[in-house]
Amino acid sequence: MVRLALVLAAWLAGGAAHAVDDPYPWIAAAYLVKRDGAVLWAGQPDAKLPPASLAKLMTALIALERGRLDEPVTVGRGVLQATGTRIGLKPGERLRAGDLLTATVVRSANDACRALAEHLGPSRNTFIVKMNDRAAALGLANTRFADPCGHDREGQYTTAADLALLAEQVMRHDEYLRLARLERVTIRTLEGRSFTLRNTNALLGRYPGAIGLKTGHTEQAGNCLVALAERDGVRVMAVLLNAPNRWWNAVGLLDRAFAAAR
């Protein structure tokens, strides 16, 4: 990972003298980089694209703003329809809302996300309405959600610019930042069944200062990432949508943004 970072950083630096609004068009279908809240570089930041599991940022935000994370949740039959990444929840099991949030953030588990959304909704469809209402309140004019967990759905889209704003809202919650940086964690049902979860973010433990923030992948969305890192009080965020080499590219962008802050 370190060697890859050096190679990509050199590549990025080579184009710095010709920097424009989109200095690195090969990186992703859309991307945006912020340092301490200010935009450094962006490519197609307002292009409407599928969000994949980056949609879970909104699910997490609604859960955190509601609070009551110690509240018990009974898993419904909707988890049987969850596809992709799952931890194997069974209908009728009970977990803390906070533990469902943990599995949603750390492992990007779609069954945990579905159970949490149906608890907060109190149905999947009513929760989607809440997601879109909150997006509108935040001024995310180019975002529309159609699935709490980010599965590919007709009419669902967002932009790198909107995701950066959503991520900044989520980052106000210390609990999200705590969860996002966990490399591994164990949660348990109230009946005692345990799940050991490994974070989907490959930067954690490998990239100095990495905090998170969320990964995503679907067939239509490709590889997506909101990467967040902090060094010496400087915080850098990179949003990448449909980025074939998201880890290489995120490392290079973060390195270059930190270097420019010196």
Active-site positions read 53, 56, 108
Residues 6+ apart with CB under 8 A from 130: 62, 120, 121
> What distance in Å separates the CA atoms of residue 13 and residue 25, rounded to the nearest whole number?
14
> What distance in Å separates the CA atoms of residue 203 and residue 261, rounded to the nearest whole number?
21
Give the position of tokens 């975002």: 143
Residue 197 corresponds to which amino acid? L
- Which ranges constitute the DSSP H helices of 29-159? 56-66, 97-106, 110-120, 124-137
**CB-CB contact of 110 with 149 (8 Å):** yes
Strands 38-43 and 234-241 turn out to be: unpaired
- Which of 88, 71, 108, 95 minimizes the C-alpha distance to 202? 108
